[in-house]
Amino acid sequence: MLGNEEQLQAAVAGRDARFDGWVFLAVTSTRIYCRPSCPAVKPKREHQRFYASAAAAQDAGYRACKRCRPDASPGSPAWDWRSDVCARAMRLIGEGVVDREGAAGLARRLGYSLRQLERLLVAEVGAGPAALARAQRAQVARTLIENTDLPMGQVAFAAGFASIRAFNRVVAEVYACSPTELRAKTRTRPAGGGAITVRLAYREPFEPSNLFGHLAAAAAPGVEEWRGGAYRRTLRLPGGPGIAALTPGPGYVEARLRVADLRDVTAAVARCRRMLDLDADPCAPAEALAGDGVLGPLVAKTPGRRVPRKADAPEYAVRAVIGQQVSTASAATIAARLAERYGETVEDPDGGLTRLFPDSSALAEADPADLPMPGGRKRTVLALAAALAEGRVELGPGADWAAAREQLAAVPGVGPWTVEMIAMRALGDPDAFPLTDLGVAKGAASLGLGAGKALEARSQSWRPWRAYAVQYLWAATEHPTNRTPAGPARNDDQTREKASA
């Protein structure tokens, strides 16, 4: 994970923000750890130590820098573009699994013994699951301390601490001040009205147009909406329903969260980050695509495109099937009808959200008459929902991507396009490539890149970042999904021939 020592030294000397979240600089003379880009005066080389995670630095006795706030840096991109057991474990830890089920529960989910998993994570990131979860609890606690007026006891409970004593001790160790002192120093004001506002960091460059354009264009009324410059949607969280409102800002995305159970803040933040691909390293796909004579200039013109995903992988899988061979508007309308019929109700004091998208168990029992689509697609929707409900298809953050592809392909009616779209938009596979997608075909044709086998052959040079190449192919033709909406989204104005959302 840490890489070449000379490269790390150069990153620190140049205050290279591209390394933030990849590696953490600890200073032995001050016992503080920082981002590589920290503006503070750099220590002498003999006082520098490098760690692969904030948890590892904290475990070694270092405190977070108050100037660059290294624990709030974007997560390592490795956990997004890898599917090995360590990457899957890190994604699950980010969802708060250790807080809810313990380290042993995490190991069981992954099919490993706790001892094996501990050894793998320590070798990879310098800390075991308990230490990684502890660091995450500290970060969540600071978020709640600084962005809400909740009593400290509720903050401790919401952040996942087992006791007030543990909460006070960890905050003091990580931030060198008490929770009360930390709140007194904050310059932000609580959002009020029961909402929690969090700033989601990302690595520059960052192009938000296709992200928010896709999410708004495919929004299912009642489940999602574009309102007041924000993409808003309901979330199915472990402790109950939630609502997230995501607004692109200068250097961050603002997330305004409402949760039924404060312990779900961790999971809500993790899902928002994954939905917007905020932990990506935009330089890696840019370098891979730069050598292509056609895509290279497009990447240079609009750098930092991310892959728009969905917050709920099973939901997206079902909606991908619904969207086969129909317009984005039609697919969104069908999804809204299913939510109205089978989804749980949600109260939204800030907008027009009314329902959660129904879970797989509810959809598996749906009346085929409620599915306004051809008979073959009805059977596919019901079969996929049953497979998801029964665990025969696993698409969560801990899923093995190769196994998930095989499981999906075994569902009658789920073909290559659907598998690739789910791999890209739900699993987060950066090399997913829906070759037969109409938007991909139109974009490739407009750029003179060919089609079919010719395009497949051309795409081999884009690996392992073909999902990012898809964003430039989609953007090659004019469509509302390619730009951030200027006002409230209107699903009836969007007419993409095949849903790719």
Say how far apart CA 261 and CA 239 lie, in whole Å. Answer: 5
Report the percent of the chain where pLDDT is more than 90.
83
Say how far apart CA 212 and CA 270 lie, in whole Å. Answer: 18
Mean pLDDT computed over 198-211: 93
For residue 328, what are the CA distances in angstroms to 79, 159, 218, 275, 381? 30, 38, 6, 18, 17
For residue 247, pLDDT beyond 80: yes
- 437 carries an active-site annotation: yes
Of 151-165, 174-188, 355-369, 486-500, least confident by mean pLDDT is 486-500
Among residues 283, 312, 437, 493, the one annotated as catalytic is 437
- 466-474 helix and 438-447 helix, angle to the nearest 10 degrees: 80
- DSSP single-letter state for residue 464: T
| Residue ranges in 148-196 assigned as alpha helix (H) | 152-159, 164-175, 179-185
pLDDT value of position 2: 63
- 34 carries an active-site annotation: yes
pLDDT band, very low/low/confident/very high, at 355 (cuts 50, 70, 90) = very high
pLDDT value of position 364: 96
Among residues 34, 38, 65, 86, the one annotated as catalytic is 34
With contact defined as beta carbons under 8 Å apart, do 244 and 257 qualify? yes
Q: Enter the pTM of the model.
A: 0.91
pLDDT band, very low/low/confident/very high, at 216 (cuts 50, 70, 90) = very high
| Residue ranges in 293-374 assigned as alpha helix (H) | 295-301, 313-322, 328-342, 360-364
